[in-house]
Amino acid sequence: MAASARRGQALTLEEICIAALRLIEVGGVEGLSMRKLAAELDVNPMSLYHHVENKTELLKQICRLTAGTLELPPDDGTPWPDQLRALAHAYRALAHAGPSLWLYVEQHPDVLPEEDGLWEVFDRNLAAVGIPDEQRPHVRKALYAFCTGFISAELVGALDRPDGVTDIDRTFEVAIDLIIAGLERLSAQQP
């Protein structure tokens, strides 16, 4: 009674990841269970452990897979405000493509090896702004925090409530404008 007993083909890691992603986007990360996943694949729950160390390791794999699809703005001569805007939009688009998983990554940043590309884009553009070296790591982290903070607040519904204003895309633009304005002002203050 081998694989062919329950299913035609052998189980693959890719197959597992795809099914897991489907389950996650339906029921959230906390709605994913190894047993449900196995049922989805018509397989014994324990078979999964031949392809994946454990549940958190599976999640890590999936997170890295989707994080790799982030489209970073290239290092052409584009003015820094446009590059920062582009990065913010790309990040938000990625979040909207898989909200549950994105929220999981936000709370477990250690699942990603290091978001090198992201920091590079920030640094390159902060240099263009004219932020002094000493301040750059701080500003870089502030930008990161602002960006993830907005998206996270949006995804969990924290921005739905205080009023009837529902144009969240507009709010995002205003938020970006605010940051850019702040950077411009810091820039103007530099010698």
Contact residues toward a second copy (CB under 8 A) are: 103, 106-110, 114-115, 119, 135, 137-142, 144-150, 152-154, 156-159, 161-163, 165, 170-171, 174-175, 177-186
Q: Using CB under 7 A, which residues numbered 49 to 68 contact DNA?
A: 49-51, 54-56
Phi-psi region of 130 (alpha: psi -120 to 50; beta: other; left: phi over 0): left
**Do 48 and 38 form a contact (C-beta atoms < 8 A)?**
yes
Per CB under 7 A, 1 contacts DNA? yes
Q: Of 155, 38, 163, which Cα lies nearest the Cα of 103?
A: 155
- Candidates 18, 21, 28, 45: give the one binding DNA (CB under 7 A): 45
- What x/- string results for residues 99 through 138 when contact with DNA is judged by CB under 7 A? ----------------------------------------
In order of 20, 39, 84, 137, 180, the CA distances from 120 in angstroms are 31, 42, 12, 11, 18
132: left (phi over 0), alpha (psi -120 to 50) or beta: beta
CB of 30 to DNA, least distance (A): 9
Nearer to DNA, 32 or 176 (CB): 32
